[in-house]
Amino acid sequence: MTFPTPLWREGRGEGPAERFIPIIQRTFDFNVGLRSTVTQGVGGGARGPGGGSEAGSAERIHACRQGGVTELAPWLVGDRPVEDIARLGRGLTVPLKAGPRARSGVEDPMKRPTLAAIASLLVTVFLDAAAVSPVAAAIQLETVATGLTSPLYVTSARDGTDRRFIVQQGGVIKVLQPGATTPTVFLDITARVLSGGERGLLGLTFHPRYAVNGRFFVNYTRQTDGATVVAEYRVSDSDPNVAGSIETILLTIAQPFANHNGGMIEFGPDGFLYIGMGDGGSANDPGDRAQNIDDLLGKILRIDVDHLNGTIPYSSPPDNPFFGATPGRDEIYASGMRNPWRFSFDRATGDLYVGDVGQGAWEEIDLVTLGGNYGWRLFEGNHCTNLGACDATGLTFPIVEYGHSGGRCSITGGYVYRGARSTLPGGTYVYGDYCTGEVFTLSGSAQAVALDSSLNVSSFGEDEAGELYVVGLGGTVDRITTSPPPPPCSYSIAPAGQSFGDGGGGGSLSLTTEGDCGWLAASHADWITITSPTRGAGGAAFTYAVAPNGGTGPRTGTIAVAGQTFSVAQGVGCTFAIDPTSQHAGSGGGNAGVDVTAPGGCPWTAVSRATWITITSGAAGSGSGRVAYAVATNTGHGARTGTMTIAGQTFTVTQDGAPNSCSYSISPNRRNIGAAGGAGAVTVKAPTGCDWTAQSHAGWITITSADSGSGGGTLTYAVAPNTSGVNRQGIVTIAGRTFTVKQSR
């Protein structure tokens, strides 16, 4: 077949994406025009953030005739011919470019490629390409955000707000509101992050109780040494779309090289934090760190961020395989990883899928379990590397692998689809290749190409509804959807809120939406518990419980469902106090007040129980307040007592009597009595209407009659036997006069 064949040469662009410029346009009886590039990289190839970093490359132009390869130009570095390709060093990958699409093979770094070698590579290309079957595209990408700077990840907070959080390699996390197209800055730690190549802000996850505690975690390589840092931040108290600035560092792990930093962090269904660590970089794991159980590199780690270990800001679950062991690190969950750039948990089963980036030939997906060893550096995929004994004892091999054909070079791990809006079958694992932009599906053991994009796929993401996203390093986030895409989901809730008393109780709300629209519900208050399923699709009714309010004030909380907010208001158990609790008034009366202390929203009243006490303000109130009252003039000669009931408390007013010309006398005014004791009486003389009182000031003298009177009268008393052995004297005050009792021993 004869067709115009452009010959292509690499254009010098930034980042891992390659651009190609046609330099010759001629007609040949060839299958395809190819450009070979030999790349030296510290990770064994030119990769994106999840692979290696490019250190140098050489190229030459050639064409492939059916049945053979015709070389058209020498190898070049820039525009300079290179006679000895071995000078470029070891660890070389040869991508073969067919027009704007790539094909690749692996070249012996110590030998200049021959025509026979290139022809052999071409055969390998076509054989490996068949390993992943092409299928009719059942999905397409729908743009969610553009104009981003090297985005590496997208996720949700799982708090019912339906927001998406986008990680940018340089150190910025952005938040995208439902229905919006322009994200805003949530966190900026650029000053802390060493970025470039495979370094940067690499991971983000939110605590399972983020809706209540506001905790989230990041993974980045730090200034200036590139060590991995896993740190905790909290959302701002005043703005849910801005993070606080306080950092708590959980882990710091030294990195011997610039590549293979891993970077993924995620909470598992067990509530523990899982951390993906690469082997430390260079090529072929020179320190054999992935197999060293005293080293955290080349591992999946698992830690408990809710319980401290002394001064260490986390602990390790005791069922971790090397917990308390020597040798072995407590934090290790699984070993034998090269660069687990992205992993995820199936939200339905809890299974952990890890996309482990290969060295130079094979990419793999591992189903990771507690204590598993996944073979690197002894095996790359299912294939012995000859870097050690090819002994598979105790190793767990990938559930799927694919070779570096068709330009494929670096796996980007994805997610098991559990959404409702795509034609993808539920339970399908979706992943991709960074270099080709292909999106693959895995159903059982069958791999297929679901979509062939032009993106450098740096990551996948999952939202609250279980829908999946593709992140392009060039600056985009796209949603995976059907072709054509369905209309946007609409959500509404009823009622908008509910009020409860201090005793709490239960309630319900309804969500209305289309049948294929997923949702997540989350309580944003620890005293509100959702008692129905918190995930689903289509319309639903939710039930919830409100705990009793034992605090001193009312409170409000919310439930977020699919970006909608339901408000709960709760009163408080009311307690009241008054100050003072009593007051003395002169006979002329006057004005005074009583302070009431009560929680806000707690109502109270004030009522006078005496006709001569009048409430002048504050007869009713809510929360703290003040009651003012007036006391009338007492025209009587005797003192009087009255009360008010204020907020259920008793307030007492004692008022003096009016002055008068009363005169009093008593007879007798003294008495001697023997040791045996006895009884007696005192006569009180006073004008009519003149009140008087009596009071004993000795415990052994008891008034046996009324202790008060008006006008004349008689008071009786009793004296107890004297057993003290000494003479004693006591007095009784009667009508203001003193009556004295002396008792012998």
Residues 531 and 396 in one domain: no
Q: What does the buried/exposed string (b/e) look like for 327-355 if buried means 16 or more CB atoms within 10 Å of the residue's CB?
A: ebbbbbbbbbbbbbbbbbbbbeeeebbbb
Q: Where do the H-state alpha helices sit in 157-301?
A: 210-213
What pLDDT score was predicted for residue 48? 63
Contact indicator for 455, 439 with CB cutoff of 8 Å: no
Per the DSSP assignment, residues forming a β-bridge with 204 are 218
CA distance 415 to 422: 14
Per-residue tokens: 211: 């809706």
What is the average per-residue pLDDT within 482-508?
92
CA distance 173 to 155: 11
The residues, ordered by sequence, that sit 6+ positions from 260 with a Cβ below 8 Å of its Cβ are 43, 52, 198, 278, 279, 280, 281, 282, 338, 339, 357
What pLDDT score was predicted for residue 86? 32
Closest CA to 306 of 240, 210, 372, 189: 210
The residues, ordered by sequence, that sit 6+ positions from 312 with a Cβ below 8 Å of its Cβ are none
Residues 556 and 460 in one domain: no
User: Does some domain include residue 487?
Assistant: no
The residues, ordered by sequence, that sit 6+ positions from 690 with a Cβ below 8 Å of its Cβ are 637, 660, 662, 663, 664, 710, 711
The enclosing H or E element of 115 equals helix 115-129
User: Does some domain include residue 660?
Assistant: no
The residue assigned the tokens 């200049």 is 112
Cα–Cα distances in angstroms (integers) from residue 361 to residues 110, 257, 407, 411, in the given order: 18, 21, 11, 11
Q: Which of 421, 454, 482 is the last residue of a domain?
A: 482
**CA–CA–CA angle 704, 708, 710 (5° rounding):** 130
* pLDDT band at 638; cut points 50, 70, 90: confident
CA distance 212 to 33: 59
What is the average per-residue pLDDT within 718-731?
94
What pLDDT score was predicted for residue 69? 33
What is the average per-residue pLDDT within 679-705?
93
CA distance 550 to 397: 55
Residues 237 and 369 in one domain: yes
pLDDT of 526 above 80: yes
The mean-pLDDT minimum among 33-47, 242-256, 380-394, 493-507 falls in 33-47
Q: Say how many Å lie between the first and final Cα of the chain, rounded.
A: 144
The residue assigned the tokens 């009180």 is 684
Per-residue tokens: 705: 């009659």
User: Does some domain include residue 470?
Assistant: yes
Taking the CA atoms of 42, 45, 48 and 54 in sequence, report the sign of the dihedral they define. positive
pLDDT digits (tens, 9 = 90+) for 269-323: 999 999 999 999 999 999 999 999 999 999 999 999 999 999 999 999 999 999 9
User: Does some domain include residue 246?
Assistant: yes
- Strands (E) across 29-138 are located at 32-41, 54-65, 68-71, 76-77, 80-81, 92-98, 101-106, 133-134
What is the average per-residue pLDDT within 622-644?
92
Residues 454 and 512 in one domain: no
Contact indicator for 591, 630 with CB cutoff of 8 Å: yes
Residue 490 class from Cβ within 10 Å (0-12 exposed, 13-18 middle, 19+ buried)? exposed
User: Does some domain include residue 490?
Assistant: no
The residue assigned the tokens 């609250």 is 464
What is the average per-residue pLDDT within 179-189?
97
**65 three-class SS:** strand
pLDDT of 64 above 80: no
pLDDT of 120 above 80: no
* pLDDT band at 173; cut points 50, 70, 90: very high
User: Does some domain include residue 493?
Assistant: no
What pLDDT score was predicted for residue 93? 31
CA distance 213 to 66: 65
- Torsions phi, psi of 292, nearest 5? -95, 110
Cα–Cα distances in angstroms (integers) from residue 550 to residues 60, 124, 162, 439, 616, in the given order: 78, 72, 32, 54, 34
CA distance 421 to 336: 37
pLDDT of 60 above 70: no
Contact indicator for 473, 484 with CB cutoff of 8 Å: no
CA distance 36 to 113: 10
What pLDDT score was predicted for residue 344? 99
Q: What is the CATH classification number for the domain harbouring 527?
A: 2.60.40.10
Residues 648 and 691 in one domain: no
pLDDT digits (tens, 9 = 90+) for 436-464: 999 999 998 788 999 999 999 999 999 99
Per-residue tokens: 126: 């076509």
Question: How many independent structural domains does the chain possess?
Answer: 5
Domain containing 677 equals: 665-743
Q: What is the CATH classification number for the domain harbouring 207?
A: 2.120.10.30
pLDDT of 743 above 50: yes
What pLDDT score was predicted for residue 10? 34
CA distance 540 to 126: 50
CA distance 619 to 607: 7
Residues 727 and 603 in one domain: no
Per the DSSP assignment, residues forming a β-bridge with 457 are 472
Residues 610 and 735 in one domain: no
Amino acid identity of residue 290, one-letter, is: A
Contact indicator for 669, 739 with CB cutoff of 8 Å: yes
Residues 315 and 387 in one domain: yes
The residues, ordered by sequence, that sit 6+ positions from 39 with a Cβ below 8 Å of its Cβ are 45, 46, 54, 55, 56, 57, 92, 93, 94, 95
The mean-pLDDT minimum among 296-310, 354-368, 610-624, 652-666 falls in 652-666
CA distance 44 to 338: 12
pLDDT of 136 above 70: no
What pLDDT score was predicted for residue 35? 37
Residue 688 class from Cβ within 10 Å (0-12 exposed, 13-18 middle, 19+ buried)? exposed
- The whole-chain average pLDDT of the chain stands at 85
Per the DSSP assignment, residues forming a β-bridge with 38 are 58
What is the average per-residue pLDDT within 410-420?
97
Cα–Cα distances in angstroms (integers) from residue 477 to residues 155, 264, 438, 464, 482, in the given order: 11, 18, 15, 16, 16
* pLDDT band at 237; cut points 50, 70, 90: very high
CA distance 495 to 542: 11
What pLDDT score was predicted for residue 248? 98
User: Does some domain include residue 441?
Assistant: yes
Per the DSSP assignment, residues forming a β-bridge with 670 are 740
Strand-strand pairing, 457-462 and 468-472 = antiparallel
- Would residue 343 be called left, alpha or beta, if left means φ above 0 and alpha means ψ between -120 and 50 degrees? beta
CA distance 174 to 191: 16
Q: Which of 569, 603, 619 is the last residue of a domain?
A: 569
Q: What does the buried/exposed string (b/e) look like for 607-645 if buried means 16 or more CB atoms within 10 Å of the residue's CB?
A: ebebebbebeebeebebebebebebbebeebbbbebebe
* pLDDT band at 36; cut points 50, 70, 90: very low
* pLDDT band at 550; cut points 50, 70, 90: confident
What is the average per-residue pLDDT within 429-439?
98
Residues 250 and 327 in one domain: yes
CA distance 231 to 213: 16
Number of Cβ within 10 Å of residue 675's Cβ equals 14
Cα–Cα distances in angstroms (integers) from residue 464 to residues 4, 219, 262, 355, 471, in the given order: 49, 22, 24, 22, 17
The mean-pLDDT minimum among 346-350, 381-385, 467-471, 707-711 falls in 707-711
Q: What does the buried/exposed string (b/e) look like for 375-397 if buried means 16 or more CB atoms within 10 Å of the residue's CB?
A: bbbbbbbebebebeeeeeeebbe
The residue assigned the tokens 């962090």 is 265
What is the average per-residue pLDDT within 521-541?
96
What pLDDT score was predicted for residue 187? 99
The residues, ordered by sequence, that sit 6+ positions from 251 with a Cβ below 8 Å of its Cβ are 228, 229, 230, 275, 301, 303, 314, 331
DSSP sequence for 554-579: -EEEEEEETTEEEEEEE------EEE
Residues 615 and 730 in one domain: no
Most confident segment among 69-73, 201-205, 554-558, 662-666: 201-205
What is the average per-residue pLDDT within 418-445?
94
pLDDT of 3 above 80: no
Cis peptide before 327 (omega within 30 of 0): yes
Percentage of the residues of the chain whose pLDDT score is greater than 90: 73
What pLDDT score was predicted for residue 460? 99
* pLDDT band at 575; cut points 50, 70, 90: confident
3-state SS of the chain: helix, strand, coil percent to 5? 5, 50, 50
pLDDT of 49 above 90: no
Q: Which of 69, 98, 130 is the last residue of a domain?
A: 130
Closest CA to 417 of 368, 356, 516, 348: 348
pLDDT digits (tens, 9 = 90+) for 80-108: 343 333 333 322 233 323 333 333 333 33
Contact indicator for 673, 700 with CB cutoff of 8 Å: no
Contact indicator for 505, 464 with CB cutoff of 8 Å: no
Residues 344 and 294 in one domain: yes
Residues 533 and 627 in one domain: no
User: Does some domain include residue 494?
Assistant: no
